[in-house]
Amino acid sequence: MIGRNGSGKSTLFRLITGKEKADEGTITLPRSYQIGVLEQQIHFSQPTVLQEAALGLREDEKECLYKVEHILFGLGLNEELLNVSPHELSGGYQLRVQLAKVLVSEPDCLLLDEPTNYLDILSIRFLSHFLQDWKGEMILISHDLEFLDATTTHMMGIHRKKIFKIRGKSADLFQIIAQEEETYELTRQNIEKKRAHMQVFIDRFGAKASKAAQAQSKLKMIERLPALEKLKNMHHLDFAFREVPFHGKKMVEANQLYFSYDANPLIENFSLMIEKTDRIAIIGKNGYGKSTILKLLAQELSPQRGQFNCSAATRIGYFGQTSIERLNPTLRVEEEIASANPNLNTTQIRSICGLMMFNEDLAKKPISVLSGGEKSRVLLGKIVARPCNLLLLDEPTHHLDIESIEALIDAIEEFHGAVVIVTHSEWVLRRIPLNKLIICHHHKQDLFLGGYDEFLSQVGWVEEDTKPKKKAPVSKPLPPSKSSKSEIKKCEDQIILLEQSLTKHSEELARVSQGGNAEQIRKLIALIDQEQKQVEALFERYHQFFKTE
């Protein structure tokens, strides 16, 4: 389901689940039909993450914890987090636990409102594969068209308070809506022409006795014509970033940067040169330093080691995740945008407010009452107000609807300066003509020269195993013993065979996980778990030989 912010998508979900009552009409569900909803309001009751997520398991599967672990790992949690309290997690990870709880419950129908919020690329790819294999029904709300096109069979759009539903992809739906708008407008114009033509006849001949009957007939025809109002223009972002010319080549140069929030390095030996007209994306798992790199480039953080040089002619426009929190809640929209550039006059400020979809009345609203999407537009307005030649954008599409995201991408494409963007949207990564990628791994960052599709074809995402590998007990050399050598040899051979089988099945699991076949994954996880238990039992038996001796 797609539609502009405020068009009623989430309201429709609340109607389906009974949280809102319809003024008219009915909603009918089959008997015993289970609906799984991703709740945005979070309430936890269990002491650990694993136990909390396991609440979603069906009664006959309460012991199938491997299902819960598989989904939690796919959504980016690691084994260490399974035994911590869910209350200790960040908001983003708490949402993942909620999502895992819904997915593992295997309801008849899933209702997921913006499920990719706070997920990184790898988690989104996992969720996409998981949903492609979903056997029941589902309705997804998302502004990520690539995610929707990959996971769904039908598209439903809310446009001008009317619902369109088709079998096909997002482009098909947009085409139908455009055709509907065109047909409506042509029909309206034809009706207006017909009405005007008949009105001329009535005005001219209505007073003549010989034409009075015809005039009266045409008057009745006019009354029967449908009154179609002219479609109002849908408000959308339409802006361009103000630019400061940059006449050099190197805007920013970073060499061997090191940064850490604690004893463990987050950024290490990081080097990057930003040249004018560069288009660079920073990608990778959450927690691997993407936003920190952007803060270092924006000089909001200082590296603890390494050299950082920024040209005196570089002017930065920075959109950060924490920047929204810094908006002054007591100021009005127009005052907040004006604070970005004291040289702007009232007319220029109101013009920027209009570009950001804040008309005269909305521009006077205080920041404190704005939604997340409106605050994002205020922050974009502040960047537009201040001329720059280097854009640093941290998840700028968060909270924006599809039309606003399209407008932002258009503005980036038309910008003549350099752009560095952090995003988890593969749709955005493919839309922007990137020439460099910074891929963030655990404690290291790689530079790739090229665009996102080139990266996928030449390198691709290597799924990093979040589960620490269990170390096999270290066995000491066999001492002289009276115990049966044949029994010891048999035990050793069984351990070797099982470890070979474990390696084979683990490699197979990694391969199958890329394709997202849930049934195969479940079988392999169960098989691996069984083999690990057998290995542990054999090692225990193996050591018993020496204890008894």
Q: Where are the domains of the chain?
A: 2-160, 250-458, 485-548
Side chain identity, residue 3: G
Q: Which pLDDT score, from 0 to 100, does residue 465 have?
A: 44
Side chain identity, residue 490: K
Q: Which pLDDT score, from 0 to 100, does residue 468 have?
A: 40
Q: Which pLDDT score, from 0 to 100, does residue 484 have?
A: 53
Q: Smallest Cα–Cα separation from 112: which of 58, 40, 162?
A: 40
Q: Smallest Cα–Cα separation from 251: which of 438, 444, 449, 416?
A: 416
> Model-level pTM?
0.71
For residues 134, 399, 87 and 518, what is the CA-based torsion angle, rounded to 10 degrees? Answer: 10
Per the CB < 8 A criterion, the answer to whether 106 and 137 are in contact is no
Side chain identity, residue 547: K
Beta bridge partners of 437: 281, 448
Per the CB < 8 A criterion, the answer to whether 16 and 170 are in contact is no
Structure tokens, 445: 């960052």
Q: How many CA atoms lie within 13 A of 507 on its CB side?
A: 5
How far is CA 84 from its chain centroid?
A: 25
CATH 3.40.50.300 applies to domain 250-458: yes
Decide the pairing of beta strands 418-422 and 390-394: parallel
The residue with tokens 């854009």 is 391
Can you state the angle between helices 121-132 and 485-515, rounded to 10 degrees? 90
Per the CB < 8 A criterion, the answer to whether 204 and 212 are in contact is no
3.40.50.2000, 3.40.50.300, 3.90.1150.10, 3.40.50.1110: which CATH number matches 2-160?
3.40.50.300
Beta bridge partners of 250: 275
Along the 549 residues of the chain, how does pLDDT read in single tens digits?
Answer: 988 877 888 899 999 998 899 999 999 999 889 999 987 778 899 999 999 999 999 888 888 899 999 999 999 898 889 999 999 988 888 999 999 999 999 999 999 998 998 889 999 999 999 999 999 999 999 988 899 999 999 999 888 888 888 899 988 888 888 887 787 778 778 878 877 877 777 777 666 666 667 767 767 776 776 666 665 555 566 788 999 999 988 999 999 999 998 878 899 999 999 999 999 999 998 888 999 999 999 999 999 999 999 999 999 999 987 777 788 999 999 999 999 998 899 999 998 888 888 888 889 999 999 888 888 889 989 999 999 999 999 998 887 888 888 888 999 999 999 999 999 999 999 999 999 999 998 888 999 999 999 999 888 887 544 444 343 333 333 343 444 556 666 777 777 777 777 777 776 766 665 665 666 776 777 777 777 777 667 666 656 654 444
Q: Which pLDDT score, from 0 to 100, does residue 91 have?
A: 82
Domains 2-160 and 250-458 share a fold: yes
Stated as kind and residue range, the H or E segment containing 538 is helix 518-548
